[in-house]
């Protein structure tokens, strides 16, 4: 690994940042697994506890761009240390919150730090390595998010059930402290704007805006179906409730495979990888709708959709670093906001469909939205600002796959 990626400190820093991603994603969604325990302990409703997750995502959407702009001149190691410090304190406060509103306040502070963390972590991690291996390095970084769904949330839920939900949050705060110390010790102190990946390697506003639009629409499609996958599995495919956990585990394993597959391909075939993933998502969701009554077909479909959604996350991080028209952190903040907006919009679309056409329709609408995203990514090369400039000046424009992506 050292020979492939670079020096030892860069590898240690990448592992620490991957653990930070794991910790943030686990913390964001952990109230879902601990919902009954939190509701009972704080004397509130299950729907109110659910707002701890919805409100968290809303904060990330709203503040990503303004916070990134406000801190754009701050050295990256110092900024990450501040963010991780805020995470440690706010998550500890979540664990000791005496009532619902104190818990909500602590969660919102954690969300503020996560909004900025997502904008900064991708260019920082990429800047540790040579351009030709950045896609693979970022696949390791984003494996932290997939591992959170696969292991972090189930483990946190189990720990909370055995010892109390507060202990689970204290454990995450402790892990965050370990990451903070490691980042402070090994991450290079590069000034803001001078990192190796702080600017796009082939800036192109047209392609970048296409990527943002594709992200918002494709993620909306994915979460229109995925948010309500449990009632789909029981109500349409006929699985018992006891099977939902193992089925989601299978989907999580497929997602982890998608991250590494995308990371392997994106350095050489960025646009083709993204196009293929979204096209496969269309087929997966369409298959889930058409063959939902078949348990075997449903398992294949949800595994493919897990593979594509997780793979898309890794591809986005790498491609933004190519086409960012300005600072990479601002470009990453916008795509992070688009991704979270897709999560919220998908959950809302599914909630509208449930009382009318029913849960099976969530897969169909998800497929149609994904098809719209597929159309946009197909047209992306035609929207290239560099292509338009080359056409105007008579210059030559290399295809993306001939450049480092």
Task: Answer whether residue 135 shows pLDDT above 70.
Answer: yes
**196 lies in some domain:** no
Tell me what the mean pLDDT of segment 210-221 comes to: 95
Which of 122, 151, 186 terminates a domain? The answer is 186
377 or 10, greater pLDDT: 377
* 2 to 11, 113, 124, 204: CA distances (angstroms): 7, 31, 18, 32
Q: Do residues 78 and 119 both lie within one domain?
A: yes
Tell me what the mean pLDDT of segment 364-381 comes to: 96
Q: Do residues 113 and 229 both lie within one domain?
A: no
Answer for the pair 113, 57: CB distance below 8 angstroms, yes or no.
Answer: no
54 or 185, greater pLDDT: 185
Q: Do residues 232 and 294 both lie within one domain?
A: yes
Task: Answer whether residue 402 shows pLDDT above 80.
Answer: no
Q: What is the predicted pLDDT for the residue at 61?
A: 85
Task: Answer whether residue 312 shows pLDDT above 60.
Answer: yes
Task: Answer whether residue 391 shows pLDDT above 90.
Answer: no
- Percent of the chain with pLDDT strictly greater than 90: 42
pLDDT by residue (tens digit) across 71-111?
888 888 899 999 999 999 999 999 999 899 999 999 999 99
**336 lies in some domain:** yes
Q: What is the predicted pLDDT for the residue at 213?
A: 95
Tell me what the mean pLDDT of segment 286-301 comes to: 96
Answer for the pair 62, 114: CB distance below 8 angstroms, yes or no.
Answer: no
Q: Do residues 212 and 169 both lie within one domain?
A: no
| Nearest by Cα to 389 from 200, 211, 203 | 203
pLDDT by residue (tens digit) across 216-255?
999 999 989 988 888 899 899 999 988 887 888 888 899 9
Q: Using CA atoms in the order 147, 148, 149, 155, what is the torsion angle rounded to 10 degrees?
A: 110
Buried b (16+ CB within 10 A) or exposed e, 140-168: bbbbbbbbbbbebbbbbbebbeeeebbeb
Q: What is the predicted pLDDT for the residue at 272?
A: 95
Which of 129, 156, 186 terminates a domain? The answer is 186
**269 lies in some domain:** yes
Indicate the average pLDDT of the chain: 86
Tell me what the mean pLDDT of segment 19-37 comes to: 87
**12 lies in some domain:** yes
Which residues have a Cβ under 8 Å from the Cβ of 205 and sit 6 or more positions away?
Answer: 325, 385
Task: Answer whether residue 394 shows pLDDT above 60.
Answer: no
Q: Do residues 148 and 243 both lie within one domain?
A: no
Helix (H, G, I), strand (E, B) or coil at 327: strand
Answer for the pair 103, 97: CB distance below 8 angstroms, yes or no.
Answer: yes
**Among positive and negative, which fits the CA dihedral 287, 292, 297, 302?**
positive
Q: Do residues 45 and 153 both lie within one domain?
A: yes
CB atoms within 10 A of CB 74: 15
Tell me what the mean pLDDT of segment 201-214 comes to: 92
Q: Do residues 150 and 59 both lie within one domain?
A: yes
Residue for token pair 């950045």 = 134
Q: And the tokens for 24? A: 């943030």
Task: Answer whether residue 190 shows pLDDT above 80.
Answer: no
70 or 191, greater pLDDT: 70
> If you count them, how many residues does the chain have?
405
CB atoms within 10 A of CB 344: 18
402 or 80, greater pLDDT: 80
Q: Do residues 175 and 39 both lie within one domain?
A: yes
Task: Answer whether residue 196 shows pLDDT above 90.
Answer: no
Q: What is the predicted pLDDT for the residue at 210?
A: 95
pLDDT band at residue 405 using 50, 70 and 90 as cut-offs: very low
- Say which CATH number the domain at 220 has: 1.20.1250.20
Q: Do residues 32 and 80 both lie within one domain?
A: yes
Q: Do residues 395 and 352 both lie within one domain?
A: yes
Q: What is the predicted pLDDT for the residue at 264?
A: 85
Q: Do residues 279 and 172 both lie within one domain?
A: no
**168 lies in some domain:** yes
Q: What is the predicted pLDDT for the residue at 248?
A: 82
**135 lies in some domain:** yes
Q: Do residues 379 and 283 both lie within one domain?
A: yes
Which of 154, 186, 218 terminates a domain? The answer is 186
Separation CA 87–CA 106 (nearest Å): 9
Q: Using CA atoms in the order 394, 395, 399, 403, what is the torsion angle rounded to 10 degrees?
A: -170
Which residues have a Cβ under 8 Å from the Cβ of 309 and sit 6 or more positions away?
Answer: 219, 222, 226, 255, 258, 281
Q: What is the predicted pLDDT for the residue at 191?
A: 66
Q: Phi first, then psi: give them for residue 202, nearest 5 degrees.
A: -145, 70
Q: Phi first, then psi: give them for residue 188, nearest 5 degrees.
A: -65, 145
Q: What is the predicted pLDDT for the residue at 53?
A: 76
**Among positive and negative, which fits the CA dihedral 68, 81, 262, 304?**
negative
**193 lies in some domain:** no
Answer for the pair 345, 362: CB distance below 8 angstroms, yes or no.
Answer: no
Q: How many domains does the chain have?
A: 2
Separation CA 239–CA 247 (nearest Å): 10
5 or 178, greater pLDDT: 178
- Domain membership of residue 84 as a residue range: 2-186
Tell me what the mean pLDDT of segment 268-273 comes to: 90
Task: Answer whether residue 195 shows pLDDT above 70.
Answer: no
**197 lies in some domain:** no
pLDDT band at residue 205 using 50, 70 and 90 as cut-offs: very high
Buried b (16+ CB within 10 A) or exposed e, 48-65: ebebbbeebbbbbbbbbb
Q: What is the predicted pLDDT for the residue at 340?
A: 84
Q: What is the predicted pLDDT for the residue at 395?
A: 52
């Amino acid at each position: 690994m050292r020979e492939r990626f670079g020096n030892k400190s860069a590898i240690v820093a990448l592992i620490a940042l991957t653990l930070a991603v794991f910790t943030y994603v686990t913390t964001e969604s952990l109230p879902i697994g601990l919902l009954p325990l939190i509701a009972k302990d704080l004397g509130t409703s299950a729907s109110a506890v659910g707002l701890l997750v919805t409100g968290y995502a809303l904060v990330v959407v709203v503040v990503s761009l303004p916070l990134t702009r406000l801190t754009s001149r701050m050295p990256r190691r110092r900024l990450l240390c501040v963010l991780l410090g805020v995470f440690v304190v706010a998550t500890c406060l979540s664990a000791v919150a005496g009532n619902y509103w104190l818990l909500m306040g602590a969660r919102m502070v954690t969300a503020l730090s996560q909004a900025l963390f997502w904008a900064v972590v991708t260019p920082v991690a990429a800047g540790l390595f040579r351009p030709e291996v950045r896609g693979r390095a970022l696949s390791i970084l984003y494996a932290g998010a997939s591992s959170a769904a696969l292991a972090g949330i189930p483990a946190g839920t189990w720990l909370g059930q055995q010892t109390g939900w507060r202990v689970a949050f204290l454990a995450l705060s402790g892990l965050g402290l370990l990451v903070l110390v490691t980042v402070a010790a090994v991450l290079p102190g590069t000034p803001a704007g001078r990192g190796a990946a702080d600017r796009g390697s082939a800036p192109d506003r047209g392609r970048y805006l296409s990527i943002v639009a594709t992200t918002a629409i494709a993620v909306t499609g994915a979460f229109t179906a995925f948010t309500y996958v449990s009632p789909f599995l029981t109500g349409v495919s006929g699985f018992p409730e006891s099977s939902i956990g193992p089925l989601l585990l299978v989907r999580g394993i497929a997602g982890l495979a998608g991250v590494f597959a995308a990371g392997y391909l994106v350095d050489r075939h960025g646009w083709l990888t993204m196009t293929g993933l979204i096209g496969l998502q269309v087929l997966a969701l369409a298959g889930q709708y058409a063959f939902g009554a078949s348990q075997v077909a449903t398992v294949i479909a949800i595994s493919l959709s897990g593979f594509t959604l997780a793979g898309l996350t890794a591809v986005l991080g790498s491609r933004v670093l190519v086409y960012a028209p300005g600072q990479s952190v601002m470009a990453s903040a916008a795509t992070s906001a688009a991704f979270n907006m897709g999560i919220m919009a998908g959950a809302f679309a599914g909630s509208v469909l449930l009382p009318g056409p029913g849960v099976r329709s969530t897969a169909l609408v998800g497929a149609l939205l994904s098809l719209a995203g597929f159309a946009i990514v197909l047209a992306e090369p035609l929207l290239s600002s560099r292509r338009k400039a080359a056409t105007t000046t008579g210059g030559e424009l290399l295809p993306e796959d001939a450049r480092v992506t």
